[in-house]
Structure 1
């Protein structure tokens, strides 16, 4: 156990609830237990590109209990600008990885803690390998699709927000005899839609992993009506596949095409097939913001403490993970490789079908 270390911490990729709880845990463990110095790097890898490097010294006094309750990340983050193909003002792309590596070395870091999803951790790992940096990863993604961990920071709060949305939509649906369609996030995995749909009493859940048909959705709604109920709740993941194949995407002013619009598309199909009055709600970034729920605060705190302990024991190129009610650590490369989509015959899909929820067509 060496003393006097200087470690860096950064958040990368999209924000989510619980990031500040990770930062707080890292600072308290590193400073209070090991007497190390912690440098918070601002705006992820972008902060390492600037000269001087944008960073701040973090002390326990800076990360008291109040930060535990805050959404987002006090360090800022970025989900743009791959350092190995960085977009330049003239439209070209440039490899700026060595600038990031030299930024870490200018700070004199003995180790770096990176908080991110599979894409961010893959980039950070490549930087660490090429630059000889000591890296420890912490998984965060509301999609919960990182392998080898049962849960990532931010997922539980996102599910809670989506569930609350269903709770709030149900009375309006019943009052007006409507079908309410809720579009939730989920880049390529349907974990949020599935979990929130079950917890929120949805009648239809549409996922990227399981094909569905208009007839299947319409038949479920007709069945509900025949049973005497005047409303229905439909949850759809933004990445759910369209009946004819492909995904619903929207082009934004920055030129990027992102998932979105499938909720309105499905609402139209339902109205056309059943004659029901439909309304669509798109949660979007509401699922990322706000105060983290208790479980995200607990997971984040446990991850942050364990990440610092890994550095103390000289264990690098590892990602902390949650398994069987405890924190473990796994190789970052294995976690990235083991992508975790919804299991089409898994417990939650079987649970949903057992409750009479339409979750698409059975997969042979």
Structure 2
């Protein structure tokens, strides 16, 4: 059997751990040939691939990013599905392991419907894929954001400033919620709940009155009441997503204008998704890869491996991509106890 593997969408700590697990178990247990397609779905569309042997994955467990490269290519936007079929036929590839988030796995689901053998592995630092408790990359992103908040607190206290920390999270505020709680933020703002600038200012002033410097953590997709998302640009990717960014700077300026206090914004951006994965993400990614191989061996196409409790299970791709997993109100209300 010849199996292809690809990584699509944004890069994420732990991708290489999945690749390593697929290659090691695929070759050593099943005797498969494993092929890596470069740059997400662009690889099968163009035929850009490389063989993956044991030596190719020997030292990649701790490496961030992906040795295969990634992209936000959508083969259904350009009617390239027949090109994928041709590539798989020409290269003798019997099945694909697609590692990605909502968009990548949405394509995987459609390809299965069109008769192509695909098994999915969930990946996103946003932790917003439904049907799995956690995705690898999330723990690393939260760890990085929390460390940044810890470091920023000392400089905020030294200069008596309000600091607004913008983290990733387009439609789901899991990174903001977890890093904000772990970092002891005084305000946490998430996309799921429009925020009142007046209330934020009230919390900030309360913090200054207690002679402490306030820390506000805001997800990039958070919006003020009656407002809309702050866009970095009007460009859209192949899946129709606009590029967000700027709510942190906007909010810092609002706080400074309304309080008369110095306020600064820090955008963590892609530092959250780069570098070495945490031990938790390495283990979770490895387990996902191992169980994806089992699904391929059993011909269980159209499924995605998922974490439920401490067990790795399989769910239908249609279930995993039907809706986003967002922060529920009760989880956000737990954090509100610490606001101000």
Shorter-chain TM-score bucket reads over 0.9
Alignment map for 1:303-314 (pairs within 5 Å)? 303-314=288-299
Is 2:90 the partner of 1:106?
A: yes
Q: Compute the displacement of 1:302 (Å).
A: 0.3
Residue in 2 that maps onto 1:117: 101
- 1:33 pairs with 29, 35, 41, which one? 29
1:228 and 1:246 mapped to 2: Cα distance?
Answer: 33
Is 2:118 the partner of 1:135?
A: yes
Alignment map for 1:179-258 (pairs within 5 Å)? 179-229=162-212, 231-251=213-233, 257-258=242-243
Residue in 2 that maps onto 1:282: 267
Q: Compute the displacement of 1:257 (Å).
A: 4.0
- 1:19 pairs with 11, 15, 18, which one? 15
Task: Calculate the aligned-residue CA RMSD, in Å.
Answer: 1.6
Deviations 1:120-157 (A, max 9, x none): 11112212321x22110000011111001011121111
Residue in 2 that maps onto 1:301: 286
Contact 1:242 1:248 in 2 (8 A): no
Residue in 2 that maps onto 1:43: 39
Contact 2:166 2:218 in 1 (8 A): yes
Q: Compute the displacement of 1:244 (Å).
A: 2.6
- 1:266 pairs with 251, 269, 272, which one? 251
Runs of 4+ that moved beyond 6 A: 252-256
The alignment of Structure 1 onto Structure 2 pairs a total of residues equal to 337
1:17 and 1:357 mapped to 2: Cα distance?
Answer: 31
Instruction: Normalising by structure 2, report the TM-score.
Output: 0.95
Deviations 1:255-279 (A, max 9, x none): 9841111001000111112221111
Q: 1:209 to 1:311 in 2, by over 3 A?
A: same
1:253 and 1:210 mapped to 2: Cα distance?
Answer: 25
1:254 and 1:122 mapped to 2: Cα distance?
Answer: 18
SS at match of 1:337: coil
SS at match of 1:311: helix
Q: Compute the displacement of 1:345 (Å).
A: 1.6
Contact 1:148 1:338 in 2 (8 A): no
Contact 2:235 2:242 in 1 (8 A): no
Q: Compute the displacement of 1:252 (Å).
A: 6.6
1:42 and 1:118 mapped to 2: Cα distance?
Answer: 19
Instruction: Normalising by structure 1, report the TM-score.
Output: 0.89
1:339 and 1:43 mapped to 2: Cα distance?
Answer: 24
Q: Which moved more, 1:255-264 or 1:188-197?
A: 255-264
2:329 and 2:89 mapped to 1: Cα distance?
Answer: 45
- 1:162 pairs with 127, 134, 145, which one? 145
1:44 and 1:215 mapped to 2: Cα distance?
Answer: 44
SS at match of 1:137: strand
1:293 and 1:220 mapped to 2: Cα distance?
Answer: 33
Q: 1:125 to 1:257 in 2, by over 3 A?
A: closer
SS at match of 2:12: coil
- 1:333 pairs with 308, 315, 318, which one? 318
Contact 1:205 1:234 in 2 (8 A): yes
Residue in 1 that maps onto 2:75: 83
SS at match of 2:218: strand
1:253 and 1:246 mapped to 2: Cα distance?
Answer: 16
The runs of 5 or more residues in structure 2 that have no matched partner are none
The runs of 5 or more residues in structure 1 that have no matched partner are 87-94, 359-364
- 1:149 pairs with 132, 138, 148, which one? 132
1:350 and 1:214 mapped to 2: Cα distance?
Answer: 18
2:15 and 2:327 mapped to 1: Cα distance?
Answer: 24
SS at match of 2:75: coil
